[in-house]
């Protein structure tokens, strides 16, 4: 008699576990998830600079909050092989901006152009994420200071 009670308890527990697993699987399938094509932080494609030009990576914290502790942000320029060509870690406060320059005159180039890309990384992200940061890359002429072009990452389709 005791063996039957023990085996019926095991079967009951197994059936309940199967029901819970099935329910969890069905609920997980009905949950909607979306793919965000805009990486966090903002991503830039490759661009070229030549002698006589400087690429400037800009970032601004657009969060409108009272002054508080700054956030450490890492700004980098990488070459086409992923090697860091220029790097800076800066303290960025809400509403303030920072930048990093990469002068084309000092880049090793196999032809007349150096392929680079910019990257922004928030160190030790707090409760707010990179969504409050806006980054751009500007390329300007060293002699005149005239801007050749500005790149901004594509807008996040989830933000409206």
Clarify whether residues 11 and 73 are in a common domain.
no
Residue 4 CA to residue 99 CA, distance in Å, equals 75
User: What confidence tens digit (pLDDT) does each residue in 2-46 have?
Assistant: 556 666 666 665 666 556 565 555 554 444 443 333 445 556 889
118 with 147, same domain? Answer: yes
Rounded CA separation 28/59 (Å) = 38
CATH number, domain of 62, equals 2.60.40
Same domain? 64 vs 92:
yes
Q: Both tokens of residue 126?
A: 């707090």
120 plus 147 within the same structural domain: yes
Taking phi over 0 as left and psi of -120 to 50 as alpha, with beta for the rest, 27 belongs to alpha
- The pLDDT score that the predictor gives to residue 17 is 57
Beta bridge partners, 101, equal 56
Kindly tell me if the per-residue pLDDT of 152 is higher than 80.
yes
> Do 111 and 83 fall into the same domain?
yes
Work out how many domains the chain is built from and give that number: 2
Q: Are strands 47-49 and 71-79 parallel, antiparallel or unpaired?
A: unpaired
pLDDT tens track for 52-110: 999 999 998 887 666 667 888 999 999 989 999 999 999 988 888 999 999 999 988 77
Domain that holds residue 83: 47-151
Question: Is 156 part of a structural domain of the chain?
Answer: no
């Amino acid at each position: 008699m005791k063996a039957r009670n023990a085996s019926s308890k095991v079967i009951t527990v197994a059936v309940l576990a199967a029901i819970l697993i099935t329910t969890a699987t069905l609920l997980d399938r009905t949950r909607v998830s979306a793919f965000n094509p805009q990486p966090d932080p903002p991503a830039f494609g490759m661009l070229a600079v030549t002698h006589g030009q400087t690429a400037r990576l800009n970032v601004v914290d657009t969060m409108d909050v009272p002054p508080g502790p700054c956030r450490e942000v890492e700004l980098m320029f990488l070459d086409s092989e992923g090697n860091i060509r220029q790097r800076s870690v800066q303290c960025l406060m809400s509403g303030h901006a920072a930048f990093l320059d990469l002068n084309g005159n000092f880049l090793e180039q196999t032809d007349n152009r150096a392929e680079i890309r910019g990257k922004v990384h928030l160190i030790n992200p707090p409760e707010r994420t990179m969504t409050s940061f806006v980054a751009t890359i500007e390329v300007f002429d060293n002699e005149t200071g005239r801007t050749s072009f500005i790149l901004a990452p594509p807008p996040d389709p989830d933000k409206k």
